[in-house]
């Protein structure tokens, strides 16, 4: 049973008998001296010492990697709120472990600034004010971490200090949250990171304050029902209902149930149950290395995977592979050379960190939500020799018009890319009717075939797998999916993807329409390239290189172009009114016309030092000689793909697209 009358330290336990799977403060002090713990502790302690020298953070502070425009507007954006709350938690933890009162003073000084309305004004992002609710993501996020720090420090605070902090939390967070509830805010209904951050964060705030605030029990009661319902948002194999980058917000759910364990004593560890181990498996296949993640939807392509919370899941499941996910892809917090402090609390140093072994499948297909898939040549954490990954559908939240997207990485470099979110943040109308005016969200901003340049209809999950699986004799893997629902003007659209191990990828796009149409196939490259008249292009980027060719069977004529994206007025500003960064991402196009289209694109990857040759074509057969692996070739004859690799030969019957249906209304 939950116990708010005498709360112990959140995420730990005062006595081992009360919660055997939680640590006591004394255990934590012993364990941080060695091994992985020692590395984490050294990094956190070094940053905490720097924090003592720097002045308290304000909405105008230029913390490392913060967008200067956000600081200029004194906004309470995500970056500064993470920086300030991590500073508070670091100082609180360092004081509890070392007893050095300088950390206590530093923590209280930063909290004093946070609860000062003359400085922080409110715990709400300026971009969210227009939503009309007194509470938002910043409210839940800041309240959660300040309350945790208070919980850890409580026994060392004077009565006046306790009163001041609790009053500040009430003024800045608890009352705005309670005032929002009668307004029926979407974050009380929709299973997104808003629910876990706002509602879950205020629930942890209630757990942390316990009897020190009269509304604590209400905050916990409200949050328990909502957080339990959130599990329904996961797909059957742990698929997250938002983009992979936003899946890092699962740390909020892990944190919530980790904190709840402190109150519920010997109850079963919720983190060992669905969806936590399954979500770890899902993100494992979408984590590409080194410290890269599939950049679908509203992700920043350069952002690393945020997986520190899987240390808690690994400890709960005793799973070394999940432990490896948390440690091998450990990321810094917003650019600081320091991990999230909760990893220090969650990490079990007795559990080895392993990557998937040689017997683990190198490919996976997930049919829930966005229906993601991936295949890799190996499990090197530094970056496999080749990774092909994509999606047949689209997420319910933070989705782009990207059903059918295919990307390729090699040797730790992105080669065929997803562009992710606009640099500089969201435009003000990014979630409205103008969403596709920004190329990042548009079908034309992805590696897709389009019909008359039309956008996809606004549906949660258009696109579905027809079949998938391994090719015979271990030659590779394939996927076939139907994208007809994404193209109202077409009677049938399919995409077939092959990964011939280790480093060859073939993609076949096929479409049929009732009336003659213009087909465009676009590939986004890591750097600007010239596509030749025969559809071939090559480039190197960082440690990797790619050789590709887009083939159109005669007598169909094709035109090949290259270009670069640009935001055009009036769709060229962030929601704060500043100009979007013009990254000018490059692409290549292949265009044809008619009632039927079939385009075969082949790719070969290698190291930048390998000087890859070009794909050759003779009588419809495309061939590539790899100096390391040998000769590969593909040809389509009578609707059958015939392939030859150094390891063997085979054939594959392509999906027939003769079935017709009435065209659906299109969205322009």
Task: Return all residues near 466 (Cβ < 8 A) that are at least 6 apart.
Answer: 480, 481, 482, 494, 655
Q: Is the pLDDT of residue 659 over 50?
A: no
As a whole number of angstroms, the distance between CA 313 and CA 309 comes to 7
Does 296 lie in the same domain as 325? yes
Joined tokens for residue 570: 């009036």
Task: Return all residues near 522 (Cβ < 8 A) that are at least 6 apart.
Answer: 444, 446, 447, 448, 450, 587, 588, 589
Q: Is the pLDDT of residue 481 over 60?
A: yes
Over residues 597-603, mean pLDDT? 97
Does 554 lie in the same domain as 460? yes
Handedness of CA 94, 100, 102, 107 (dihedral sign): positive
pLDDT of res. 462? 67
pLDDT of res. 661? 43
Does 369 lie in the same domain as 356? no
Does 587 lie in the same domain as 484? yes
pLDDT band, residue 471 (cuts 50/70/90): very high
- Domain final residue pick, 164, 183, 202: 183
pLDDT of res. 658? 56
For residue 287, the tally of other CB atoms under 10 A from its CB is 22
Question: Do the beta carbons of residue 481 and residue 390 sit within 8 Å?
Answer: no
Does 102 lie in the same domain as 170? yes
Residue 375 resides in a domain? yes
pLDDT of res. 656? 74
As a whole number of angstroms, the distance between CA 521 and CA 512 comes to 14
Q: Is the pLDDT of residue 518 over 90?
A: yes
pLDDT of res. 503? 97
Does 391 lie in the same domain as 280? no
Reported residue count of the chain is: 668
Lowest mean pLDDT across 450-454, 462-466, 483-487, 565-569: 462-466
Residue 531 resides in a domain? yes
pLDDT of res. 346? 92
Between β-strands 559-564 and 586-607, what pairing exists: parallel, antiparallel or unpaired?
Answer: antiparallel
Over residues 267-274, mean pLDDT? 90
Handedness of CA 587, 371, 547, 377 (dihedral sign): positive
- Quick: pLDDT tens for 162-180: 999 999 999 999 999 999 9
- Domain final residue pick, 617, 639, 663: 617
Residue 303 resides in a domain? yes
- Quick: pLDDT tens for 209-268: 999 999 999 999 999 999 999 999 999 999 999 999 999 999 999 999 999 988 887 678
- Quick: pLDDT tens for 409-460: 999 999 999 999 998 789 999 988 999 999 999 999 999 999 999 999 987 6
pLDDT band, residue 666 (cuts 50/70/90): very low
What is the percent of the chain with per-residue pLDDT over 90, rounded to a whole number?
80
Residue 3 resides in a domain? no
Does 282 lie in the same domain as 142? no
pLDDT of res. 335? 47
- Quick: pLDDT tens for 370-417: 999 999 999 999 999 999 999 999 998 899 999 999 999 999 999 999
Domain that holds residue 32: 23-183
Q: Is the pLDDT of residue 23 over 90?
A: no
pLDDT of res. 559? 97
Sheet strands (E) in 542-659: 544-552, 559-564, 586-607, 616-618, 621-626, 630-637, 640-645, 648-653
- Quick: pLDDT tens for 528-551: 999 999 999 999 999 999 999 999
Over residues 147-154, mean pLDDT? 97
How many structural domains does the chain have? 3
Joined tokens for residue 521: 């196939």
pLDDT of res. 668? 34
Lowest mean pLDDT across 88-97, 342-351, 598-607: 342-351
Residue 660 resides in a domain? no
- Domain final residue pick, 360, 393, 410: 360
Does 319 lie in the same domain as 242? yes
In order, the DSSP letters of 499-561 are EETTTEEEEEEEEEEEEEEEEEEEE-BSS--PPPTTSEEEEEETTEEEEEEEEE-TT---EEE
In order, the DSSP letters of 324-346 are HHHHHT---BTTBSS--HHHHHH
Joined tokens for residue 448: 């897709």
As a whole number of angstroms, the distance between CA 297 and CA 295 comes to 7
Does 440 lie in the same domain as 565? yes
Q: Is the pLDDT of residue 48 over 60?
A: yes
Q: Which of 518, 510, 553, 521 is closest to 659 using CA atoms?
A: 510
Over residues 289-310, mean pLDDT? 88
pLDDT of res. 304? 83
Angle, CA of 427, 431 and 432, to the nearest 5°: 105
Does 378 lie in the same domain as 312? no
Output the average pLDDT for the chain: 92
Q: Which of 631, 655, 630, 633 is closest to 643 using CA atoms?
A: 633
pLDDT of res. 611? 85
Over residues 332-354, mean pLDDT? 79
Lowest mean pLDDT across 133-147, 182-196, 653-667: 653-667
Q: Which of 596, 598, 593, 599 is closest to 517 using CA atoms?
A: 593
Question: Do the beta carbons of residue 641 and residue 622 sit within 8 Å?
Answer: no
Residue 61 resides in a domain? yes
Does 377 lie in the same domain as 317? no
Over residues 48-55, mean pLDDT? 95
Residue 651 resides in a domain? no
pLDDT of res. 72? 95
Does 436 lie in the same domain as 544? yes
pLDDT of res. 154? 96
Residue 562 resides in a domain? yes
- Quick: pLDDT tens for 110-126: 999 999 999 999 999 99
């Amino acid at each position: 049973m939950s116990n708010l009358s005498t709360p112990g330290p959140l995420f730990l336990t005062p006595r081992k008998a009360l919660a055997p799977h939680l640590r006591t403060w004394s255990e934590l002090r012993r364990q941080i001296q060695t091994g992985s713990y020692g590395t984490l502790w050294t990094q956190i302690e070094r940053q905490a010492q720097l924090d003592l020298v720097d002045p308290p953070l304000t909405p105008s502070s230029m913390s490392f990697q913060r967008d200067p425009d956000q600081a200029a507007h004194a906004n309470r954006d995500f970056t500064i709120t993470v920086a300030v709350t991590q500073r508070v938690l670091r100082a609180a933890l360092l004081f509890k472990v070392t007893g050095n009162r300088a950390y206590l003073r530093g923590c209280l000084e930063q909290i004093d600034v946070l609860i000062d309305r003359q400085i922080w004004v409110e715990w709400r992002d300026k971009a969210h004010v227009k939503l009309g609710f007194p509470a938002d993501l910043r409210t839940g996020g800041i309240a959660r971490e300040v309350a945790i720090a208070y919980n850890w420090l409580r026994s060392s605070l004077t009565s006046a200090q306790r009163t001041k902090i609790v009053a500040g939390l009430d003024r800045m967070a608890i009352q705005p949250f309670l005032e929002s509830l009668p307004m029926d805010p979407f974050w009380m209904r929709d299973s997104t990171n808003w629910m876990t951050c706002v509602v879950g964060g205020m629930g942890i705030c209630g757990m942390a304050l316990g009897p020190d605030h009269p509304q604590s029990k209400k905050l916990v009661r409200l949050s328990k029902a909502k957080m339990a319902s959130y599990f329904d948002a996961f797909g059957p194999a742990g698929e997250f209902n938002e983009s992979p980058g936003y899946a890092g917000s699962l740390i909020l759910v892990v944190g919530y149930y980790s904190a709840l364990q402190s109150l519920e004593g010997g109850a079963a560890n919720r983190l060992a149950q669905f969806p936590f181990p399954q979500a770890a498996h899902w993100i494992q296949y979408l984590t590409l290395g080194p410290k890269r993640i599939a950049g679908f939807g509203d992700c920043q392509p350069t952002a690393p995977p945020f997986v520190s919370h899987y240390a808690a899941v690994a400890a709960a499941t005793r799973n070394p592979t999940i432990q490896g996910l948390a440690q091998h892809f450990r990321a810094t917090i917003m650019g600081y050379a320091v991990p999230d402090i909760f990893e220090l609390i969650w990490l079990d140093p007795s559990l080895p960190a392993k990557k998937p072994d040689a017997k683990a499948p190198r490919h996976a297909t997930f049919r829930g939500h966005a229906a993601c898939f991936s295949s890799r040549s190996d499990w090197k954490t530094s970056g496999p020799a080749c990774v092909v990954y994509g999606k047949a559908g689209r997420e319910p939240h933070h989705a782009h018009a990207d059903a059918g997207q295919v990307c390729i990485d090699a040797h730790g470099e992105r080669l065929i890319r997803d562009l992710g979110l606009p640099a500089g943040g969201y435009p003000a109308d990014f979630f409205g009717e103008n969403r596709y005016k920004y190329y990042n969200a548009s079908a034309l901003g992805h590696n897709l075939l389009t019909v008359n340049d039309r956008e996809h209809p606004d549906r949660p999950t258009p696109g579905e797998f027809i079949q998938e699986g391994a090719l015979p004799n271990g030659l590779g893997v394939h996927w076939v999916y139907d994208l007809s629902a994404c193209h109202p003007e077409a009677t049938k659209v399919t995409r077939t993807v092959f990964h011939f191990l280790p480093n060859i990828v073939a993609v076949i796009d096929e479409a049929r329409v009732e009336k003659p149409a213009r087909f465009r196939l676009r590939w986004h490259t890591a750097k600007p390239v010239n596509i030749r008249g025969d559809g071939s292009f090559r480039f190197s980027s960082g440690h990797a290189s790619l050789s590709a060719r887009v083939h159109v069977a005669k007598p169909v004529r094709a035109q090949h172009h290259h270009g670069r994206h640009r935001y055009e007025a009036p769709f060229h500003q962030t929601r704060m009114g500043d100009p979007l960064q013009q990254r000018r991402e490059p692409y290549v196009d292949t265009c044809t016309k008619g009632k039927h289209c079939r385009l075969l694109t082949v790719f070969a990857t290698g190291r930048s030092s390998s000087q890859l040759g070009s794909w050759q074509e003779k009588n419809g057969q495309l061939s590539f000689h790899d100096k390391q692996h040998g000769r590969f070739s593909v040809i389509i004859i009578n609707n059958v793909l015939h392939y030859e690799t150094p390891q063997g030969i085979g054939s594959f019957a392509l999906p027939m697209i003769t079935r017709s249906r009435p065209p659906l209304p299109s969205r322009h």
